[in-house]
Structure 1
Amino acid sequence: MRNPPEEHSLAVWIWPRALPLREIFGAAWDDPDIRTRFLTLAGQWHTRHPSPRPDPGPGGGPRPGQWMWHPPAHSIYDSHTYEEAGDDWLEVAVRMENADYFPGHCRIEASLTVACRCDSPHDRHTIVETRWRSGGPVAALDALTTVLRATDQWLADSRRPDWWRRHSGLR
């Protein structure tokens, strides 16, 4: 994400194949078919939204295709930022996390945000988002499929921050 929160000091960028899905979401995620489907969706996410920034190199941030794993929160996420000259940027992000209050459930969400130019420094405006809660890996991956389609639809309109600013009535 563009500006990860302070508590993300324990988070690491990791390749989807290395993500400990069982540790994050439970034993049912160990199934080879589930892992393969997740890797296919993660690959599709990267293909649909290739990183517009160059490869940052060692220690310079994530490499294109890596996801962030935040062990304490039992969550994984990735985002793509589309920047324009000046301080304008657009970010599309997808996140999956364990829903502790419902064992075996996952929360899956995506958001589209644009840079904030307000007087108060809250960093960004969420333009559109979608959230799902699913029980079990099959339902979670079905929800992830739906979420990825939503990001496609959002960005089909435009990948330009200024377009989204105008569309949302932001100055």
Structure 2
Amino acid sequence: MDFLKQAVRAVDAARVDGDRAEWEWALDHVVFPGPQPWTPVILGLDVIEHAGGGDQLEFLLQVVWTDRGQLAVDAAVNVACWCETDHATHDVDALRLVVGEEASLPQAVEAGAERLTRWLADPRDADYWRGRAALPPRRP
């Protein structure tokens, strides 16, 4: 489990506000629950940046189950939606590594944490990320 400790330390070091990240365990998902209409998260980190006017920028790092019962590591940046049709949020950059296919669990967690720390070093402005993804800017 040293790889998890290293990931936690790397993410904590990248936090601009100096706060430690709050990792959440879902022990009821440790055993594969079978295919679900949602993604069963085993371990997750969610760094949310709120801005005025209901805007939001979110950075995620999660260990999840795929529908086929494989572990995967997901990392993503998502923003609040300001489209004509409200989609709630959009992933503007994402990484998914399926354990055993693309990487071992330690390699996948390390890659996800590395990607998350790079994203946390970029501007903490949702419109910056929307611009990268060619999404509509926040409406006043």
Query: Match for residue 43 of structure 1?
Result: 9
CA offsets 1:26-67 (integer angstroms, 9 cap, x no match): xxxxxxxxx233122123223323668x8xxxxxxxxx5332
Letter of the aligned partner of 2:62 in structure 1?
R
Q: Are 1:86 and 2:53 an aligned pair?
A: yes
Matched pairs, number: 123
2:73 equivalent among 103, 108, 126: 108
Secondary structure of 2:85's counterpart equals coil
Q: Give the Cα–Cα distance (whole angstroms) in 2 for the partners of residues 151 and 142 of structure 1.
A: 14
Compared CA separation, residues 50 and 140, structure 1 to 2 (3 A): farther
Sequence identity of aligned pairs in percent?
A: 21
Could you say which structure has the higher helix fraction?
1
8 Å CA contact retained: 1:116, 1:124: yes
Q: CA deviation at 1:89?
A: 1.5
TM-score by length of 2: 0.72
Q: Which has the higher contact order (CA 8 A, sep 6+)?
A: 2
Mapping 1:21-60, distance limit 5 Å: 35-49=1-15
Q: Give the Cα–Cα distance (whole angstroms) in 2 for the partners of residues 45 and 157 of structure 1.
A: 14
Query: Match for residue 129 of structure 1?
Result: 94
Q: For structure 1, which runs of at least 5 residues remain unmatched after alignment? A: 1-34, 55-63
Compared CA separation, residues 151 and 75, structure 1 to 2 (3 A): same
8 Å CA contact retained: 1:75, 1:96: yes
Q: For structure 2, which runs of at least 5 residues remain unmatched after alignment? A: 30-39
Q: CA deviation at 1:164?
A: 1.3
Q: CA deviation at 1:162?
A: 1.7
Query: Match for residue 68 of structure 1?
Result: 24
Q: Give the Cα–Cα distance (whole angstroms) in 2 for the partners of residues 100 and 169 of structure 1.
A: 30
Compared CA separation, residues 156 and 48, structure 1 to 2 (3 A): closer
Superposed structure 1 runs of 4+ greater than 6 Å apart: none
What is the aligned-residue RMSD (CA, Å)? Answer: 2.6
Q: CA deviation at 1:100?
A: 7.1
Compared CA separation, residues 158 and 65, structure 1 to 2 (3 A): closer
